[in-house]
Amino acid sequence: MRGACLSYEVLHGDCREVMAGMDECSVDSIVTDPPYGLSFMGKGWDRGVPGVEFWVEALRVAKPGAHLLAFGGTRMVHRLAVAIEDAGWEIRDRIHWVYGSGFPKSHNVSKAIDKAAGAEREVVGFQPRGRSVNTSFMSGGNNITAPATPEAQQWDGWGTALKPAVEPIILARKPFKGTVAANVLEWGTGAINVDGCRVGTETLPSQVRGVTRIETFQGADGNQTTERIGRWPANLIHDGID
């Protein structure tokens, strides 16, 4: 309701225990960034993605037609998707968040060869960390060293990983009976506000392909002018970095 005063409550605890105390069919949507199962920095909490039991309980508290957005890592997102689907959710899409920041968590083969040989590498420069989104440069960095052995020279520049630039997001929906129209009228869920998520606010010429929302307004000369505003929200999101 426009102008209504909204209140918010933060519940802290194990999500399975917290959800167990919530009413069935009481949640409009779920947005979550669970463990990716990558053993990040050796942490035990990130050794696996949440299993079926997590998503079964999430399904119970969700309203029919409620949407679920679950972030995952590229290496383990398949297990995340299977667990969500096996719990009874309907997989609707996969959104790809593309970003320019970050660096590869890669093993430097040349350095490893020199280390194994007990050879000391000469420092020939300094590489600052990559640019931050909101500041100029992040503090710190790494020394640039030259290969010390012929074998290390041969494998200089080789590593074991690509720079991450994509974060997949599983988009799922709780199944419901009947039609979408009937479900949105009963529960207020089951559909996506497409117009509310259109990309860009600039006014574009009508002949531009892929731009479909039509706005008709009174021009300065008194004539009706028809133009199109905003592009379709897509299953790809990027941060705008060059």
Residue 116 has pLDDT above 70, yes or no: yes
Q: 15-99+165-192, which class in CATH?
A: alpha beta
Helical packing angle, 52-61 and 77-86, nearest 10°: 50
Report how far residue 241's alpha carbon sits from residue 173's, in angstroms, rounded to the nearest whole number: 31
The pair phi, psi for residue 126, each rounded to 5°, is -140, 130
Domain extent listing, the chain? 15-99+165-192, 109-154, 200-232
Reply yes or no on whether the pLDDT at 54 is more than 80.
Answer: yes
Average pLDDT, the chain: 84
Does pLDDT of 38 surpass 80?
no
Q: Residue 155 pLDDT > 70, yes or no?
A: yes
Query: What backbone torsions phi and psi does residue 112 show, to the nearest 5 degrees?
Result: -65, -35
Residue 206 makes CB contacts below 8 A (sequence gap 6+) with 214, 226, 227, 228
DSSP 80: H
pLDDT in the model for residue 113:
96
- pLDDT digits 0-9 by tens, 118-152: 999 999 998 886 544 433 444 567 889 999 999 99
pLDDT above 90 covers a percentage of the chain that reads 57
161-188, pLDDT tens digit by residue?
999 999 999 999 999 999 999 999 999 9
**The two structure tokens encoding residue 239:** 């941060």
The pLDDT assigned to 95 comes to 97
What gap in Å lies between CA 79 and CA 60, rounded to an integer? 21
pLDDT above 80 (res 59): yes
Give the number of other Cβ atoms within 10 Å of residue 212's Cβ: 13
Count of beta carbons in the 10 Å neighbourhood of residue 133: 10
Residue 210's pLDDT band (boundaries 50, 70, 90)? Answer: low
Q: How many Å separate Cα 30 from the centre of its chain?
A: 14
CA separation, residue 65 to residues 9, 44, 58, 99, 186 (Å):
23, 34, 13, 30, 10
Give the model confidence (pLDDT) of 84-107 as tens digits.
999 999 999 999 999 988 777 889
